[in-house]
Amino acid sequence: MLWFDNAPDRPLSVKLSLATRHYERKYGRSPNVCYLNLNTPGQDQVDTAGLHLHAAADILPHHFWIGCASGGAE
């Protein structure tokens, strides 16, 4: 699922929490992976509680590609 959040005053942890909750409501399961832009501030300081973050150059700023990696533990 692609999630967009460009609120400048919202910490990354809150953005990820909102995306995770929406994913859980929509798909009925918890995501375990999130791809985000390489330059997303705070990604090395956030507690993701089972959500594995992957920084990638091909993800646009303020976009979060969140879902379940196949074969991964939930």
- 20-46, pLDDT tens digit by residue? 999 999 999 999 999 999 999 988 888
What is the model's pTM?
A: 0.87
Could you tell me if 31 and 70 are in contact, meaning their C-beta atoms sit under 8 angstroms apart? Answer: no
Is 56 within a domain? yes
Is 31 within a domain? yes
Could you tell me if 63 and 4 are in contact, meaning their C-beta atoms sit under 8 angstroms apart? Answer: yes
Is 74 within a domain? no
Is 72 within a domain? no
Is 27 within a domain? yes
Q: How far apart are CA 68 and CA 32, in angstroms?
A: 5
- Per the structure, how many domains does the chain have? 1
For residue 22, what are the domain limits?
2-67
